[in-house]
Structure 1
Amino acid sequence: MTEEIGKGDKETKFSTRVAYAHGTLADNLAVQNFLFLGFTFYYTVIGLHIVYYAAAFIIYSIWDAIDDPLIGVLSDRTQTKWGRRKPWIYLSMIPLSLLMIFLWVPPTINDLTVFLYLTIILIIFDLVFTTYTVNFNALWPEMFLTVKDRSSLGIWRNIFTVLGVGLAFLLPEFFIEDFTSPASAPGYLTNGIVAAIIVIVTIAIMLLFGCFERKEFSKDAENAPSWKESYKITFKNKAFIIYCLIALAIFIVYGILPTVMPLYAEFILSMGDPGLILFVALIVSAVSTPIWMKLRNKLGVRKSYMISVLFWAGSLLLFLLARDEITGYLFIIVVGIGLGGSLYLYDQGIAEIIDDDEVRSGISVRREGAYYGVVALFNRLSGAINLIVLALVFAGAGWGAYELADPSKAPIILPAVTIYWPVFILVIALVLLYFYPIDQERVEENEQLRDKLHDEKRSRS
């Protein structure tokens, strides 16, 4: 049977929210651990030709675009006595941890062998990781139904996001002496093993102490639409399409800053440890979350998101005033506050869209899997857009292996991709938020319709 916290009881315990948020650490550490180290490991340590590496990622990206929405709809349609989401999380947790280790042990016979191994491992890893992340993220909007619960959970999800990304950056420092030396291969494997242990432990904590499926939604899988009908309903949802474009803009900025900020810190700010500035921004984003929670409770997601995006864009422009290490750390604190708002409000908005869909689509079922699956597509698209922008800008500047062909262009090129490009994208997000139709009045109306619908579901369960 699916678990229930009490007949008609909507609010959850504080301990449940914190335990659930542990899964966010696993979510981020599992993927960021490889994204941070994968290219350096295969290109410099293993010696794989860059063409083979790029080809592996192109194949992986094509597969990723296919499996994300499929797994989302499959999750919505799953019917078991343990619920829709939990069985998939149990099924994926051990393979996910093992694959985090297998990524670092390619057979080094020749480039073709490494390429085939990397391609196959990436495809399997993405299948398993998507199974975990779609089902894990699909759980929280139906577990945590009240604004109080969702606001509180949002803080802890932000904190554990920072911990997950921070561990992906910091763990390698303990095990890898020289990131580019072939002799460092055992260190990469040790890092993978430790990260995998952390992932499986945090998922276990989430499953044991912070995961349940409400009994009133146990019949939703029976009434869930087919794949074709689900996609049709999803892509006809105007609010969701606008929100996907907003999410795409936010993902672009999320993605570009970690990529180029260390270079900006090194070449513009002359920082001795350029990667540390990102960690400071992440810490500040977590600390600032209560501010955004209060604003969200007072103004709603749409208006708060507009303020967050505007603040983030302004803080990036302010960062142009940084000229050395001290001013760099000073102004990155302001950037971190804007980052914290967008991290926190992103999930809050998706939860409201799912509520809106449940009461207005005409099918009266919750389809978190379908929505999170489609949003994942836009996440991957953001990476492709950033790669194109960076390739065009850096190629034009003559960027080689870790150095500029013409260092005098650094003050022009690096602000262009680190500041002006993200600000331009955030302005687009701000315009989209202006036209986003789910305002606070509609949210309050949806809450009344949702509570009435859930009471009817409880009476039938």
Structure 2
Amino acid sequence: MDVNLGATRLPARSKIFFGIGQGAEGLKNDAFTIFLTPYYVLVLGLPPLMAASATAIALVFDAISDPIAGVMSDHFKSRWGRRHPFMYASAFPMGLCHFLLFAPPVLITGADSEWMLFGWLLTFTVLTRGATTLYHVPHLALTAELSDNYDTRTTLTGLRGMFGWLGGLTSAFFGWVYFLAPTEEYPIGQLNPDAYPMFAAFAGCGMVLLILISSWGTHDRIPYLKPPPKPASWRMMWGTYVDMWRAVRLLPSFALLIGVVLFSVAQFRIAQAMTWPMNTYFWEFTTTQIGLFVLVYVFSAILALVLARGFSGLFEKRTVFLTMGIIWCLATPLAIVLRLMGLLPENGTIELFFIICLSILVVATMGIGQNYLVDSMMADVTDEYELHTGERREGLFYSARAFLGKTGAALGMLVTGLLLELLGIPKQAEPGSLSEDTLFWMGIFDGPLVAVIALCGVLLVIWYPISRARHAEIKRLIAERYGDGNPPEGGGDDSGGDGGEKTSLPATR
């Protein structure tokens, strides 16, 4: 069946249901990057290097599973299409494995053997990531399949990014404010080992629910999606690594985006992984104050969506990304540097709390906006690949995108583990107990170092070659190849309009 994506307008409800699905990974990501390593290292007492090694081994597993999942979903054939069967199948394993990761039995936590705790961490990190891959790669590939329209894809990636952030922020908010709230036994709530299993159960149930809602909500779009080219084989699955390399050599745009994603996600995950120790020891905020920061992030996610959508409609995506990236690199280390210079109010003051709120607003808005734009640019690269090869390989490109995202997340956890090893923060350490030197180097890692890593990725966008005009030309040439002399019209715009982009959310991408 030949399907012209541009022939059918994409309803607003489909866009929203598609975006909702990213909330599941958002719940998982914030739990992983903010809480997992500190929980095992600072609460349970696993040596930091062992925790870091577990994340590195899980990364090797991801290197194998992501491309395979992409090829399988590219070529899978069923009456439910090629993406949705994997999305449905991933829901319950993802939620269950996430819960078990944060709920090691007393037999393990009470044992003298650190290797038993390491084995539990490794096993369920791998299983949770594997279930996430089963969902995330096909869901990500739908970005390019639901619409071939330049601006509508930005809307889809914007909504997906916004719901991803809202899912992550929900995880962080309830984690800090409710589950890790101080108790009589644990006045420093984040040091309470009994709170983490309940927190993980909450997040796991949310993952299952969001995946099923998104899969059901986009199920009616299956007849409009392109069918698989041919069944996948094991040779084809392993050959996807060769295909990725060929795509890098064929498309400079893809090679550049690989660098952009790797640097941007790595710095973001490092900064996010440092949230727990920075807020606890460097800034000495309470869990309630840390939870209130989440409200700033929620506003930032919505503001970033509005700004990215609005400015990318006026300027090229690469221009908007570059501008947001430069602002991010300047704003990220500012508060930390001012604190190290002694120019900020003392810890525990309301003035410091509001200054950090303002810093978070600027940094988060720029960072989230960049993430929206990268995913939208990746969708355009899949069209360029089809022009050169005649094949639709969304799964290939988005499995690469997913792998890079997980690489960055794993690097963030790895760096956090190594940093805690270097800083020598003891198990169950309370705020105010660390030396000035320890706090100084903690700030350097989370501020200037992260900004330098981010800048490397931001500057690569200068050479990104797909402009709005180039993308329109690509669509025209693809349409001519399939015997349609006209380019697809409005691929994926909302119904109920006169050619204009309309959604139920104002100024979305």
Q: Common fold, TM-score beyond 0.5?
A: yes
Q: Of 250, 254, 259, which residue of structure 1 is paired with 2:264?
A: 250
Q: 1:376 corresponds to which residue?
A: 402
Say which is worse superposed, 17-26 or 203-212, in terms of deviation. Answer: 203-212
Say which is worse superposed, 412-421 or 259-268, in terms of deviation. Answer: 259-268
Q: 2:236 corresponds to which residue?
A: 226
Superposition deviation, residue 285 in structure 1: 3.1
1:41-440 correspondence runs (5 A): 41-43=39-41, 48=46, 52-109=50-107, 110=111, 111=113, 112-172=115-175, 173-177=177-181, 178-182=189-193, 184=194, 187-211=195-219, 212-213=221-222, 215=224, 217-221=226-230, 226-227=236-237, 228=239, 230-236=243-249, 237-261=251-275, 263-264=277-278, 271-272=285-286, 273-274=289-290, 276-277=292-293, 280-316=296-332, 318-319=334-335, 320-321=337-338, 323=344, 324-360=352-388, 362=389, 364-383=390-409, 385-386=411-412, 402=429, 407-409=435-437, 412-440=440-468
TM norm structure 2? 0.77
Structure 1 pair 385/56, CA: closer, same or farther in 2 (3 Å)? closer
Q: 1:459 corresponds to which residue?
A: none
Given residue 407 of structure 2, which amino acid in structure 1 is its aligned partner?
L
Superposition deviation, residue 316 in structure 1: 2.5
Task: Report if the CA contact (8 A) 2:382-2:394 is conserved.
Answer: yes
Distance 2:26 2:314 in 1: 29
Superposition deviation, residue 405 in structure 1: 8.2
Superposition deviation, residue 398 in structure 1: 5.9
Gaps of 5+ in 2: 182-188, 345-351, 485-509
Superposition deviation, residue 124 in structure 1: 2.3
Given residue 135 of structure 1, which amino acid in structure 2 is its aligned partner?
P
Superposition deviation, residue 275 in structure 1: 5.7
Identity fraction in percent: 21
Superposition deviation, residue 383 in structure 1: 4.4
Say which is worse superposed, 48-57 or 283-292, in terms of deviation. Answer: 48-57
CA-to-aligned-CA distance 1:111-148 (integer Å, 9 cap, x gap)? 34444343333222222111111111111211122234
Distance 1:348 1:219 in 2: 22
Given residue 309 of structure 2, which amino acid in structure 1 is its aligned partner?
M
Secondary structure of the equivalent of 1:12? coil
Superposition deviation, residue 357 in structure 1: 0.9
Task: Report if the CA contact (8 A) 1:302-1:440 is conserved.
Answer: no
Task: Report if the CA contact (8 A) 1:46-1:108 is conserved.
Answer: no
Secondary structure of the equivalent of 1:379? helix
Task: Report if the CA contact (8 A) 2:49-2:417 is conserved.
Answer: no
Structure 1 pair 115/391, CA: closer, same or farther in 2 (3 Å)? closer
Given residue 229 of structure 2, which amino acid in structure 1 is its aligned partner?
D
Q: 1:39 corresponds to which residue?
A: 37
Given residue 307 of structure 2, which amino acid in structure 1 is its aligned partner?
I
Structure 1 pair 304/34, CA: closer, same or farther in 2 (3 Å)? closer
Say which is worse superposed, 82-91 or 24-33, in terms of deviation. Answer: 24-33
Distance 1:409 1:45 in 2: 23
CA-to-aligned-CA distance 1:192-247 (integer Å, 9 cap, x gap)? 33322222222222122234335462143459993425334323232212111111
Say which is worse superposed, 294-303 or 216-225, in terms of deviation. Answer: 216-225
Which is helix-richer, 1 or 2?
1
Secondary structure of the equivalent of 2:332? helix
Structure 1 pair 384/115, CA: closer, same or farther in 2 (3 Å)? closer
Given residue 374 of structure 1, which amino acid in structure 2 is its aligned partner?
A
Say which is worse superposed, 402-411 or 429-438, in terms of deviation. Answer: 402-411
Distance 1:18 1:190 in 2: 29
CA-to-aligned-CA distance 1:353-393 (integer Å, 9 cap, x gap)? 11111112x2x222121112223333343345556766776
Superposition deviation, residue 299 in structure 1: 1.6
Structure 1 pair 175/410, CA: closer, same or farther in 2 (3 Å)? closer
Secondary structure of the equivalent of 1:220? coil
Structure 1 pair 255/41, CA: closer, same or farther in 2 (3 Å)? closer
Superposition deviation, residue 349 in structure 1: 1.2
Say which is worse superposed, 394-403 or 115-124, in terms of deviation. Answer: 394-403
Say which is worse superposed, 228-237 or 298-307, in terms of deviation. Answer: 228-237
Distance 1:179 1:268 in 2: 15
Given residue 368 of structure 2, which amino acid in structure 1 is its aligned partner?
G
Distance 2:210 2:443 in 1: 38
Distance 2:302 2:116 in 1: 42
Structure 1 pair 411/203, CA: closer, same or farther in 2 (3 Å)? closer
TM norm structure 1? 0.85
Distance 2:272 2:456 in 1: 21
Distance 1:389 1:47 in 2: 17
Say which is worse superposed, 200-209 or 325-334, in terms of deviation. Answer: 325-334
Given residue 17 of structure 1, which amino acid in structure 2 is its aligned partner?
K
Structure 1 pair 152/94, CA: closer, same or farther in 2 (3 Å)? same
Over aligned residues, Cα RMSD in angstroms?
3.4
Given residue 280 of structure 1, which amino acid in structure 2 is its aligned partner?
V
Structure 1 pair 421/118, CA: closer, same or farther in 2 (3 Å)? closer
CA-to-aligned-CA distance 1:367-426 (integer Å, 9 cap, x gap)? 121112223333343345556766776666665555798743367434422332232223
Task: Report if the CA contact (8 A) 1:285-1:338 is conserved.
Answer: no
CA-to-aligned-CA distance 1:159-193 (integer Å, 9 cap, x gap)? 312221112112334345544345x1xx4333333
Distance 1:23 1:59 in 2: 27
Task: Report if the CA contact (8 A) 2:322-2:458 is conserved.
Answer: yes
